[in-house]
Amino acid sequence: MANDKQFIRHCIRYEFHQGKSTAKACESICSVLGVNVVSKSTCEFWFRRFKEDDFDVSDRERSGAPRKVTDNELQALLDQNSCQTQNELAQQLGVTQQDISIRLRQMGMILKEGKWVPHALSEKKTKVAAPTVTVPNRFTDMQQYRYKSEGVKGAVIGIDLGTTFSCVAVMEGKQAKVIENAEDSRTTPSYVAFSKDNERLVGMPAKRQAVTNSVNTFYATKRLIGRRFEDPEVKEDMKSVTYKIVKASNGDAWVQGTDGKMYSPSQIGAFVLMKMKETAAAYLNTPVKNAVITVPAYFNDSQRQATKDAGQIAGLNVLRVINEPTAAALAYGMDKQEDKIIAVYDLGGGTFDISILEIQKGVFEVKSTNGDTFLGGEDFDNSLVNYFVSEFKKEQGIDVTKDAMAMQRLKEAAEKAKIELSSSLQTDINLPYLTMDSSGPKHLNLKLSRSKFESLVNDLIKRTVQPCQKALSDAEVTKSDIGEVLLVGGMTRVPKVQQTVQEIFGRQPSKAVNPDEAVAVGAAVQGGVLAGDVTDVLLLDVTPLSLGIETLGGVFTRLISRNTTIPTKKSQVFSTAADGQTQVEIKVHQGEREMAGDNKLLGQFSLVGIPPAPRGVPQIEVTFDIDANGIVHVSARDKGTGKEQQIVIQSSGGLSKDEIENMVKNAEQYAKADKIKKERVEVVNQAEGIIHDTESKLEEFKAQLPQEECDKLKELVAKLREILAKKDDVDPEEIKKQTSELQQASLKLFEMAYKKMAAERESQNQSQSQQEPEGEKKEEKN
């Protein structure tokens, strides 16, 4: 019974009606039902639900609902200077710390030198740095990083949209809180699946059914985001994934299910972002709109724009797109006082980044960044899968590469083995009934040692060495200058990776941050900066790759070099290449090669209407403007006529405005259908749970209840069963109404059950306390 969630919920409800706090309720229930059957956060969640919609509690004090505190009350307490923390203020006034945090922010009050005083920046957004931070003159254009963005209302969540897992966090006061999802996990698999009846599954539910529905389960699509179908990385990816990658009308790489429907990687990413958004909204108990989303530092402009598109499709207002290593550095350095240069080594599920940052009195300045956007845990898994396929073929003579279900099982086994070998020297791979032929079923059984695993992935680990050396060179520092090396991303748990990092930097890497959560935490910190909640942090990021245009002879002419601090703006004057030329075509490229054709083409546009003139006479001013998200805006202006043409680089071939709007509508339709289905399932589950609990407790306590009350409960149970028999056709509100009626009627019954258990527990405790002294006396005699 201690594990019966429905009964535990009734216990929480009973404690709620007793007017207890969530902490006291949690303590009472655990003492009666057993240790750790319920957490404080679970109690908090149900207390909120009970206060809001499921139960009508007229007496506010009895229900334990927090009282309202007035500005005058709070101001009077602040004037006394008796409370030095928000927690002390909350305890003094009998409200939550979150309430105090919000009210202080509204009043514009901060604690300075032991006194609560008005924040100098609360009324006007002046461009003056906080007293603790000395910002060089060249940073004055960066002040938009520093203080609250105009028009930001409500919470700003930080989302790490990962290749294999995603995570969401939010600032609570001065601390970032990682939010657990509906499955009570702090990270969510970046999986999206579509069932036979077109139901959309996201996260763990999608991953669970991947073996039986591999062709309609999309994972690691972050490796495709912002990429062309013809890109060599896409061709490589097509060899290992179990779903179909197709060429979209705009030339981008999209994915396709067995029903023929095509989805852009931005759409798949949007479905995961919606899950993160819902997770945050459930925790905060309010709709969420604003977000900071992270991307690999070495993402090019197309990939950044595609990620921003994903946020827009998910219905988010993406305030900032920031680099993952930079976010991790924010998570690490929030509470650090000393100045130092750090390296962030980020090896995740699909990408690798290395960033060198200097932290100085709250200023986080990225000195350089490098990486590989097609190197991560997926590649490690694929190496293992290829090894398993090879070993199985040697042993059984069967090639399973065309068997989608077998390949998905091998992929899951590879992931499991990789994780186990981080803490064990050997693991067993046992996959019964992997496939079959005319002679019967075939099984895979083999042992895999850590040394064998390391030999299989050694070349992948070696690929991280050169980017690290390049980042050190670009930052103009040596490895001896690095004060700390942070490990970020799940793959950094692999011992061989840690050993390689130590060899590169000549020092033991730090484990000061959680590799799975640090990026989301840092994104939440940046969200706090944009919301005005965090005022002692200044983030100065860089553009990872050089930007320029194609000039005569196909030469790549750089306007902005890599590792330039952003936001930034640069102009250069060009001219025509032929006599009488009346238009010029501007081709925008990103990369480090000397010829434009070898670099990534971001976009192109034409400036027309140039008056005919000899070559070299017209003056065409080309301007590159990179915003704080690292997204490029390009314009060209004929200085003679004043005519101007500009372009915002779109994601790869580019999702048009209409395409994004259609995807937003589709996502909303899915969300609506999902919500209705989820509500129906939840009310049915609740109803069935109430019926089960009521019947079992009625059987136990029927002798202690009046007969007419027993008959009424049986009648209500029968009525609810009748409605549930037609659950697919009945309005969920009707089920909810009948369930509530039965719930209210059975209140006395459940109270009796809970009191009985509490009495038994008390009796047991007294019995134990009486036996203990006797045991002590015997020991004394001995």
Q: Active-site residues: which are they?
A: 160, 222, 324, 346
Residues whose CB falls within 8 Å of the CB of residue 404, separated by 6 or more in sequence, listed in order: 214, 215, 242
CA–CA gap between residue 695 and residue 716 (Å, rounded): 11
CA–CA gap between residue 280 and residue 276 (Å, rounded): 6
Comparing CA positions, the residue from 652, 583, 584, 586 lying closest to residue 624 is 586
Cis peptide bond upstream of 567, omega within 30: yes
CB-based contact 222:163 (threshold 8 Å): yes
Paired strand residues for 638: 620
**Left (φ > 0), alpha (ψ -120 to 50) or beta: where does 781 sit?**
alpha
In terms of Cβ atoms closer than 10 Å to its own Cβ (0-12, 13-18, 19+), residue 697 is buried
Q: Which residue has the tokens 């690490």?
A: 332
> CA 283 → CA 96, 168, 314, 521, 740, distances in Å?
15, 11, 18, 16, 24
Q: Are strands 175-178 and 317-323 parallel, antiparallel or unpaired?
A: unpaired
Residue type, 40: K
CA–CA gap between residue 213 and residue 192 (Å, rounded): 11
Handedness of CA 48, 50, 56, 61 (dihedral sign): negative
> CA 9 → CA 14, 38, 48, 351, 514, distances in Å?
9, 9, 13, 43, 32
CB-based contact 575:640 (threshold 8 Å): no
> CA 579 → CA 26, 575, 613, 638, 647, distances in Å?
83, 11, 6, 16, 26
Q: Could you give the dihedral angle defined by the CA atoms of residues 223, 229, 232 and 237, in that order, rounded to the nearest 10 degrees?
A: 50
Residues whose CB falls within 8 Å of the CB of residue 336, separated by 6 or more in sequence, listed in order: 359
What's the chain's Rg over C-alpha atoms? 31
Identify the DSSP state of 252. B
Residue type, 772: E
